[in-house]
A and B are shown apart, each in its own frame.
Chain A
Amino acid sequence: MNEPDFPIKLESGAPMVRFAKVRKSYGELTVLDDLDFDVQKNEIVSIIGPSGSGKTTVLRMLMTLEQIDHGVIYVDGEPLTHMGKNGKLVRANNRYVRSMRSKIGMVFQHFNLFPHMTALQNCMEAPVQVLGMSKQEASDRSEELLQMVGLEDKIHQHPARLSGGQQQRVAIARALAMRPEILLFDEVTSALDPEVIGEVLGVIRQLAAEHNLTMIMVTHQMGFAREISDRVCFFYDGKIEEQGSPTKLFDNPENERTRQFLSAVLDAG
C-alpha cells in the first residue's frame, strides 16, 4: 500500500508515538476510524473507555501484533508500519518491522510468561536470543530487574509456582530486560486477585517515577490512572472522544459520553 499523503520521516522534535489517520477494521466492523494520537517522549498516557472501544487494538497495532488498514504509525519520528523506499512510503517488510519493534515492549493482561522457563530464564531469553547478550550479562541484568520488582527469592521458580501478581511482575521485568523506550500495558491488573493488584501497581508507579520510559496504559483502575498519568484519553467507538490531564478529565469532563462512562465505572467500582 502506498501512502503518498504521509511523510517518510517526521521532523525533529516529533512525538515518540504518532498515529496518523490510522484505520482498522475487522470485516464490517470499523474498530479505529482515522485515529490521530500522539504520545510525547517519557509521557505517561492512560487509555480508558468502554469495552470494545478499541483500546487494546491501539496497543496491539503499536506492538505490531496487528496490521493497520490505512494511515501510518510513527515511532520516534520513523514510520513503524511503513518504510521509505525510493522516496515513497511502502508497507514495512518483516526485517524493518523487527528493527523498529525493539523500541517497544508490552505487558499483557494474561502475563504470557513462558511456562517452561523459570522467572530468570523468561527474562534472559530475549536479551540472549535477540540482542545477542552474553548469558552472564543477561543473567546479571535479569536478576537485577527481578530484584527491582521484588522477586529476588523467586528467580528460579517456574510461572506455575508463582501467584498472578508475581507472574505479572516477572512479565514487567521481562519486558524491561529488552530496554524498550516505550512500554505498553494492557489491563495488566484485570486478571489479578484484588489483594495482589497493589504489588503490580507499585512496580508501575516506581517505573513512572523514574520517568525515562514512555508508557501507554490501558486500564480500568481510575484511581491509579489519575495518580500516575500525565494525560488520560477517553476512547469511544474507535476515536478519542476526550483527553486531557487527569484532573481535567476526571473532575471536569466536558463530553457527555465521558461523564456517563465515568459515573458508570465510579458507581460500579
Chain B
Amino acid sequence: MLEWKWAYSLEILPRLLSAAVNTLIAAGIGYLIALVVGLVFALLQRTGVRPVTFIVREIVEFIRSTPLVVQIFFVFYVGPQFGIRLSPWASGMIAIGLHYASYLSEVYRAGLDNVPKGQWEACKALNLNPVKTYFRIIIPQAIPPSLPAMGNYLISIFKDTPMLSVIGVAELVHTATTIGTETYRYVEPYTLVGLIFLAISLPAAFGLRRFEAWVARYFGMTK
C-alpha cells in the first residue's frame, strides 16, 4: 500500500535541495540578526540607566513569552501598517532573528555575569575605557562558555524555519507541501525533508562541539 518511488524521489530532490539551501541562508541570516541584536539587548540591560534596562527587559520578556508564529505574522502583516513592507523571506528572517535575540540575550547575560569581578577591576586599574573593556576583555571571555547554548539556538532556528511557511516562505516544508499538492504524493517529499533536516542538524551539532573545543584551546582557556 505504502509505496516508495525512487524515480519520483530523485526527480523532486533538486527542488528540495534548492529549498534547503534557501532555508539555510534564511536560518543563517536570522541567526546573525539574533547574535547581534541579542548582544545589544544584553549590553543595554547592563547600562545601569533605569528606563533603558526596564524597557529592554520588558521587550525581551514579551518576545520570550509569545509564540514565534505570532511574531512572524505580526512582522509580516502588521509591519505594512507602519509603512514597513517586507518580503515574506525578509519578514521571516527578522521575526526569527528578533525572537532568538531575546533568548541569546539571556545567554550573553549569563556569560557576562560569569566573568569574574577581578577582570573588571584589572581593566579599570589599567585605565581601559568601558567600550574596550567590554569588547576586548569581557565579551571574549563571556563567549566561549556560552558557545554550547549559542550552538543549540542555531540548530533550533534551523528547525523553526518551517514556521515561515505560514506567511508563504518557500522553505523546505512549504516546498514539500507544494510538490505534494502538485503530484498527490506526500510520502517522498516529507520523508526527504525529514532526512534533509537530519543530514544538516546532526553534522552541524557535531561540528559545533568541535568548534567549542577548538575555541577553548585557541584562547588558552584550557591547558
Contacts and interface: CB of A to CB of B under 8 A. Distances in A.
B136 interface: yes
A65 B118 CA distance: 11
A104 B126 CA distance: 9
Contacts of A129: 128, 132, 136
B140 interface: yes
The interface centre, meaning the residue of B119, B125, B141 with most chain A CB atoms within 10 A of its CB, is B125
Contacts of A118: 220
Interface string B132-145: 10001100110000
A95 B121 CA distance: 17
A112 B127 contact: no
Interface residues of B, number: 21
Given A64-B124, A108-B121, A110-B118, A116 B220 contact: yes
A65 B220 contact: no
A1 interface: no
Nearest to A171: B122
Interface stretch (A9-17, A155-163, A230-238, A242-250): A155-163
A98 B118 contact: no
The interface centre, meaning the residue of B119, B122, B136 with most chain A CB atoms within 10 A of its CB, is B122
A115 B220 contact: yes
A160 B217 CA distance: 11
Q: In the complex, which range does the number of interface residues on chain A fall in? A: 20 to 34
A108 B126 CA distance: 12
A130 interface: yes
Nearest to B137: A114
A38 B58 CA distance: 50
Interface string A98-119: 1001101110101011111110
B122 A112 contact: yes
Contacts of A23: none
Given A65-B121, A108-B118, A116 B221 contact: yes
A114 to B, nearest CB: 6
Nearest to A178: B126
Contacts of B118: 108, 110, 112
A125 interface: yes
A113 B221 CA distance: 12
A160 B221 contact: yes
B58 to A, nearest CB: 29
Interface of B: 116, 118-119, 121-122, 124-129, 132, 136-137, 140-141, 219-223
26 contacts: A63-B121, A63-B124, A63-B125, A101-B124, A108-B118, A112-B119, A114-B137, A114-B141, A115-B141, A116-B140, A116-B141, A125-B136, A129-B132, A129-B136, A130-B126, A130-B128, A157-B220, A158-B219, A158-B221, A159-B220, A160-B221, A161-B220, A174-B126, A175-B125, A178-B126, A178-B127
